[in-house]
Structure 1
């Protein structure tokens, strides 16, 4: 029996981490934890080293879940001592996220240099690195010189034990749902501008619920107030287990509509959650989305950054219940075909099998 040790300070409940661990277990692998919650990086290093030394069983693979970039040097050293392969769920570029997309640091800031270095180390130290889309794979090959053969593409996925089709009682009006972390690539400004357009056109039965908090939350709240948007509700953050009911109670759900470079490379967690719940997904017509989603078949794609196009798409879906039903049904079918945990991890399973 092959034993995989998950190493670092990782989220036990989040969608991607859960999906990868669950998928590996369903393929018959044993997943053990070497996990720390100590405060401070050096304390975490000491605790992880202590736990590793106290292990009694053999490990066949050292796996560093996202967000484990900072533990990669220690993981590499331990894996080389044990002569076992090392893989990291890089998932995304820290540098691209914080510097280019969220613009929290300038390119000349020392912290930006550190993030770039950790991104680069993922491609240098790991035997295999996991990313979420082919577009992110191309990004790491182009910007960090990572060998394409070293990169495995595993979709983000979601908690398919929680995000399932639910019955929702009838309601008045047409409900549009969004949940997220209010970061630039999500394009919440586009959603609010579409809401303004619909309000000005007296589409009074269309309402928006925006769930979550994050970097742009206050700015977006202020934007809604400036335009006196009576059709938008800001709910704030909710526990993950409350989101399936919110999705079920909506008529359509939104993915991402931003126009950052990163937005073109990702399919967000929320998109997989909506598909798994069997609800119509309306999201940006991006390169990554077109590779996986079929417009008008299992999702409805709208031009990113264009509130007029988004408003038109919402009106189109509102006017066509049959289309909404088709998108919902085929979106759930896509989940069952490609995005269950055991499906998501197949490239990693094939890589492990080839090494055995």
Structure 2
């Protein structure tokens, strides 16, 4: 199949890169319409390039930020379109960046952008059935043209490996942005509770709440947390390999109710026992104390208790790590992403024919 892939993010962007690789591994020809960077100024050129390239292709696949690209491309071609929605505008702007209140005019405009792109595409993709149902509610729309495809990560980088460095004690790893739904402040508070339990935390990242969270760390006078700068993806895997346990997200806002996140996939891809907050998307993929350890949102005590239980129970650690990795192999690799994308693309092409 010859696939026109149009996205507003450059080829080095993680989602763009693995989508292309997943399709090429399945033997498809991917014709790329991609910008050099994420600036919106490139969008007119992307649309023009898509107009010229679409006639020779079997199907169009739109990526981030398709809420702008997909409706315009629909006006220019009758080729079938699959929209890899991945992240909705409404959830990003209302619940993540908090640029509008639910029910406000701005929130309705954000919902409208998601709905228009959904209507323009033959099929759109989201990463959980929970988010698909949520889309139907806020967009007041049918969800018949939505398909679930779990997140995937680059398993040529993310895979189980031996520790490169030995360490004393029990090492707990977190990486990601300092943003509300990640709940880094709850990790710091949990660390304080475990200061005398031979537990060390390594936290990699920066972000919106970094200064606020650092102030909390100083106020609590936490002594068992190492703060590290962001690292390249390959270096991230090396840090994860050193850990006994990896952490997911712990925030209590609406955004945290709706996400699976790459860090969940990365932990199980590395065959590390994962602790993360309980939400519906995670529970579509993983099961408590079988392939993940789930805790209540925004609860430092629950995080601390989970770490202590896994520290003391090597058998449970190993079971969660092994079962989580099997779920990753079933759903989270580039190969599985390619299979899922291929099935959806063939679905729309066959219907169009």
TM-score, normalising length from structure 1? 0.90
Within 5 Å, give how 1:275-354 maps onto structure 2: 275-354=268-347
Q: Report how far residue 60 of structure 1 moved.
A: 1.2
Instruction: Quote the residue 1:30 is aligned against.
Output: 29
CA offsets, 1:44-73, max 9 Å, x none? Answer: 233224433554971111111123322223
Cα–Cα, structure 1 residues 141 and 56, in superposed 2: closer, same or farther, change >3 Å?
Answer: closer
Q: Which moved more, 1:155-164 or 1:256-265?
A: 256-265
CA distance in structure 2 between the aligned counterparts of 1:171 and 1:303, rounded to whole angstroms? 29
| Map 1:126-205 → 2, pairs under 5 A | 126-168=121-163, 169-199=165-195, 202-203=196-197, 205=198
1:108 positional shift:
8.3
1:118 is displaced (CA, Å) by 1.7
**Aligned CA distance change for structure 1 residues 231 and 339 (closer, same or farther; 3 Å):** same
User: Retained in 1: the 8 A contact 2:9–2:38?
Assistant: no
Give the total of aligned pairs: 348
CA positional deviation for 1:214: 1.3
- Aligned match of 2:46: 48
How far residue 229 of structure 1 moved from its aligned partner, in angstroms, is 0.8
Q: What 5-or-longer segments of structure 1 have no aligned partner?
A: none
Q: Judge which range, 98-107 or 177-186, deviates more.
A: 98-107
Distance 1:126 1:336 in 2: 29
Whether contact under 8 Å (1:197, 1:311) holds in the other structure is yes
Structure 1 residue 237, shift from structure 2 partner: 1.6
Q: Secondary structure at the match of 1:145?
A: coil
Residues 5 and 60 in structure 2, CA contact (< 8 A), matched pair in contact too: yes
Deviation, 1:34, is 0.7
Q: Which residue of 2 aligns with 1:122?
A: 117
Which secondary structure does the structure 2 equivalent of 1:5 belong to?
A: strand
Give the TM-score of the pair, scaled to structure 2: 0.91
Asked if 1:228 is matched to 2:228, the reply is no
- Are positions 1:101 and 2:90 aligned together? no
SS at match of 2:57: coil
Taking only aligned residues, the RMSD between alpha carbons, in angstroms, comes to 2.2
